C-alpha cells in the first residue's frame, strides 16, 4: 500500500545549523504516529517543511505517491493535508458554526460568497462536523468566549472540513489541562479510526503519546534515533539516554487534574 506520507532524507539548515539533518520516514493510511523529542530537536521545522511553510534544503516529501517537495502551503492543503496550529487560528468575531462554514466554503472554493449569504452555506455540514468533535451544542456561541480546550476541538473540525487524508498536529494539546489533553487525543484517535485519516503529531506529554500513538518516532538534534512501536521505542538505548533524567518515558503517571 502506498504511504500517505513519505519523507526521504529531509534536510533543513539555518545558517550553519542543521535543524533537520536527513530524516526519512513514512506514515501509513489510517496511522496515528507521534514525533517526539527534546526542545529544539527539529520537530516544528520538520512539520513546517511538510506543510510548505519552509522549503527543505534538500530531500523529498511525497503525499500519496506524489512529490510535493517545496510546494506552497495552499497547494499542499488543497491536496488534503490538514493541520492544527500551536496557536489557534480561528476567527474570534465569528460563531463556532460560521468558522466551520468558512472552512467548508474554502474547501468547496466558494469564498467569493458575500457575508450575509455566506452564513447560510454549509450550515448542516458544519453542524455535522461540530457533532464529530462534540461541539454541536456550542454552534452559535461566539469563538471569543470559548474555553481553550473547546477552541482546540473547533480547530479540529475546521481541519476536517478540508477532508484531509493527513492531519499534521504540532503540539495540539499545548496549554491544555491534563484531562483536556487526554480528551483531545482520544477524539483524534476516534477520528483516525472512524474516518481513516492519518495523523502525525508532536506532543510533550508522554502519557498521551504512549496511550494513543500506533507508532512513535524520536527526533534528537535533527536526526531520527527511533521509529517503532511504543515498546520498541521505550527499550531503545539511545532514546533512554536522551530522555534520562526526565523519566516520563518509562513511568505511566496518573495524568489527571
Burial 36-62 (b: 16+ CB within 10 A, else e): bbeeebbbbbbbbbbbbebebeebebb
Position among 1, 16, 39, 65 found at the interface with ligand ADP (CB under 6 A) = 39
Q: Which stretches of the chain are assigned E, i.e. beta strand?
A: 5-14, 17-27, 32-36, 58-63, 66-67, 81-84, 166-170, 198-202, 215-220, 223-228
Position among 4, 32, 44, 242 found at the interface with Mg ion (CB under 5 A) = 44
For residues 127 and 139, the answer to whether their CB atoms sit within 8 Å is yes
| Number of chain positions touching Mg ion (CB under 5 A) | 2
* 40 lies in the binding site for ligand ADP (CB under 6 A): yes
Position among 7, 44, 213, 224 found at the interface with ligand ADP (CB under 6 A) = 44
Q: Minimum Å distance from CB 50 to ligand ADP?
A: 12
* 45 lies in the binding site for ligand ADP (CB under 6 A): yes
Alpha-carbon 98 to chain mean position:
22
* 254 lies in the binding site for ligand ADP (CB under 6 A): no
The answer for residues whose C-beta is within 8 angstroms of residue 167's C-beta and 6 or more apart is: 81, 82, 83, 84, 159, 188, 191, 197, 198, 199, 200, 201
Judged by CB under 5 A, the stretch of 22-30, 37-45, 98-106, 209-217 that binds Mg ion is 37-45
DSSP, residue by residue, 150-168: HHHHHHHHHHHTT--SEEE
* 45 lies in the binding site for Mg ion (CB under 5 A): no
* 37 lies in the binding site for ligand ADP (CB under 6 A): yes
Q: Minimum Å distance from CB 181 to ligand ADP?
A: 18
Judged by CB under 5 A, the stretch of 36-44, 99-107, 140-148, 206-214 that binds Mg ion is 36-44
Q: Minimum Å distance from CB 191 to Mg ion?
A: 23
Q: Which residues bind Mg ion (CB under 5 A)?
A: 43-44
Q: Which residues bind ligand ADP (CB under 6 A)?
A: 14, 17, 19, 37, 39-45
Amino acid at each position: 500500500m502506498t504511504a500517505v506520507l513519505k519523507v526521504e532524507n529531509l534536510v533543513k539548515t539555518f545558517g550553519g545549523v542543521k535543524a533537520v539533518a536527513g530524516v526519512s520516514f513514512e506514515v501509513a493510511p489510517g496511522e496515528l504516529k507521534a514525533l517526539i523529542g527534546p526542545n529544539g530537536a527539529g520537530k516544528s521545522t520538520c512539520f513546517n517543511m511538510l506543510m510548505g511553510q519552509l522549503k527543505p534544503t534538500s530531500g523529498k516529501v511525497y503525499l500519496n505517491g506524489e512529490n510535493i517537495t517545496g510546494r506552497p502551503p495552499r497547494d499542499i492543503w488543497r491536496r488534503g493535508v490538514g493541520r492544527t496550529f500551536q496557536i489557534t487560528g480561528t476567527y474570534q468575531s465569528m460563531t463556532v458554526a460560521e468558522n466551520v462554514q468558512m472552512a467548508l466554503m474554502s474547501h468547496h472554493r466558494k469564498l467569493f460568497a458575500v457575508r450575509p449569504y455566506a452564513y447560510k452555506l454549509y450550515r448542516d455540514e458544519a453542524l455535522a462536523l461540530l457533532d464529530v468533535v462534540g461541539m454541536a451544542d456550542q454552534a452559535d456561541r461566539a469563538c471569543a468566549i470559548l474555553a481553550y480546550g473547546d477552541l482546540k476541538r473547533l480547530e479540529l473540525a475546521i481541519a476536517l472540513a478540508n477532508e484531509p487524508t493527513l492531519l499534521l498536529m504540532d503540539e495540539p494539546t499545548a496549554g491544555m489541562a491534563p484531562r483536556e489533553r487526554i480528551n483531545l487525543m482520544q477524539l483524534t484517535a476516534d477520528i483516525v479510526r472512524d474516518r481513516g485519516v492519518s495523523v502525525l503529531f508532536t506532543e510533550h506529554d508522554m502519557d498521551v503519546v504512549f496511550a494513543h500513538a500506533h507508532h512513535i518516532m524520536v527526533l534528537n538534534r535533527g536526526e531520527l534515533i527511533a521509529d517503532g512501536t511504543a515498546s520498541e521505542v521505550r527499550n531503545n538505548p539511545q532514546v533512554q539516554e536522551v530522555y534520562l533524567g526526565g523519566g516520563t518515558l518509562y513511568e505511566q503517571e496518573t495524568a489527571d487534574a
